Amino acid sequence: MEKIKINAIIEIGGFPKEHIEKTMKNIIENLKKDPNIEITSAEIEKPKERKKIWLTLAEIEANFKDIASLTTFCFNYLPTSLEILEPENIRFEGHEFTAFVNDLIAKLNIYDDNLKKLIIQNKLLMKKLNETKVSS
């Protein structure tokens, strides 16, 4: 398969301002070190404060070796936007599409497990909070 050229936006938020600046620079540096990705441009916006949280984004243009490396990028960095610039048409081999779907299912299962754990923890905390209010 030929290279896949994309334009993507990665956003992060948090505090303090210096932390998100450093984190975004680290993200770009990690992407540049990845042998499956060729970063052709990366522009980091200056952080902006919104509702006491600092936000920044990076617009990245990159070439990916194959669909697997693009999928890994999406799962690991969760871009908020992604546009495939080239090729115009992408053809999957059966094994490539199977790997993509399995990676997607695995990631969704991780998110599902984490969400269930958070729901249970929240219920337990609410129960303890209610018990504390009753005993006070």
- Spatial distance between the Cα atoms of 64 and 49, rounded to a whole number of angstroms: 33
Pick the CATH number of 1-91 from 3.90.1200, 3.30.70, 3.30.1370, 3.40.50: 3.30.70
pLDDT confidence of residue 1: 57
The full set of domain ranges for the chain reads 1-91, 93-136
pLDDT of residue 91: 83
The pLDDT profile of the chain, 136 residues, written as one tens digit per residue, is: 579 999 999 999 998 999 999 999 999 999 999 999 999 999 999 999 998 899 999 999 999 998 889 988 998 999 999 999 999 988 888 888 898 889 889 989 999 999 999 999 999 999 999 888 877 6
Residue 63 to residue 2: CA distance in whole angstroms: 10
